Amino acid sequence: MVDPEGVRAARLPGSTMGEGRIETIVLPLGDLRLEADLGVPSQGEPAGVVVFCHGSGSSRFSPRNRSVARVLREAGLVTLLLDLLTPAEEELDRLTGELRFNVQLLAERVAATVDWLGTSGVVPPLPIGLFGSSTGAAAALVAAAARPETVAAVVSRGGRPDLAGDALAMVQAPTLLLVGEKDPEVVMLNYDALQRLYSPSDLRIIPGASHLFREEGTLEEVARQAAAFFGEHLGAAAGQAPSAPA
């Protein structure tokens, strides 16, 4: 893996070849430095890269998103679990909760990460997908609307896509909304958001699941559906990309 100037990389404790190669990196986004865990499948050529957009006080250490990321790597996708806030901002947010709902701020950082992936050389040029949870789903959709030629697919897990506001109508990427059956308020918010999406979109209810998908088998179903959706749409984007000159 190439480590361009300004990017620190170090193997994570406990990383295994079964999960692929996992490294912690620091993204230099202008004056901002954001930490992320980059995971590369252990075998084969990856079909795309999926950026995880956490929300509502979560971070790249979210056990649920790390579990989904492992399944995506097994399906041949690069994963980037991104901290959208700096450590100082996370501490402020723990005390006030004021940053987790700043969708525009989070979306700008997701869009900057998408741009960085295209120029850093850390991974080959690959179709990009966004996986958002809670308020991170809104940030992912706003970023997708801002980068229509770059973001090839979006998946939301128990997300708040309604918080993307007017950006929903500008999203061009195929979008999958996954919501727990036992989360009726968020189901309705996702249904309302679905009506405002003009891209190929689908809302799927995970049977027996509550908001955090803690019930047996529900998170595994999220991971399975996300892997299939990204595999289809990122694979299609890769197939449409012009081949490199001989």
Q: ∠ CA(143), CA(105), CA(83), 5° rounding?
A: 85
CATH architecture assigned to 9-238: 3-Layer(aba) Sandwich (3.40)
> Among the listed ranges 27-41, 84-98, 202-216, 223-237, which one has the minimum average pLDDT value?
84-98
Rounded CA separation 158/64 (Å): 11
Cβ 12 vs Cβ 24: under 8 Å: yes
Q: What is the pLDDT of residues 61-87, one digit of tens each?
A: 678 889 999 999 999 999 999 888 888
Q: What pLDDT was estimated at residue 170?
A: 98
> Among the listed ranges 14-18, 70-74, 102-106, which one has the minimum average pLDDT value?
14-18
DSSP state of 178: E
Is the pLDDT confidence value at 208 over 80?
Answer: yes
Rounded CA separation 145/105 (Å): 15
Comparing 54 with 93, the larger pLDDT belongs to 54
> Among the listed ranges 48-57, 135-144, 213-222, 236-245, which one has the minimum average pLDDT value?
236-245
**Residue ranges per structural domain of the chain:** 9-238
Q: Average pLDDT over the chain, rounded to whole?
A: 86
Q: What is the pLDDT of residues 161-175, one digit of tens each?
A: 999 999 999 999 999
The mean pLDDT of 108-130, rounded to a whole number, is 93
Beta strands (DSSP E) in the chain are: 9-11, 21-29, 32-40, 48-53, 77-82, 128-133, 151-157, 175-180, 201-206
Is the pLDDT confidence value at 144 over 80?
Answer: yes
| Bridge-based pairing state of the strands 48-53 and 128-133 | parallel
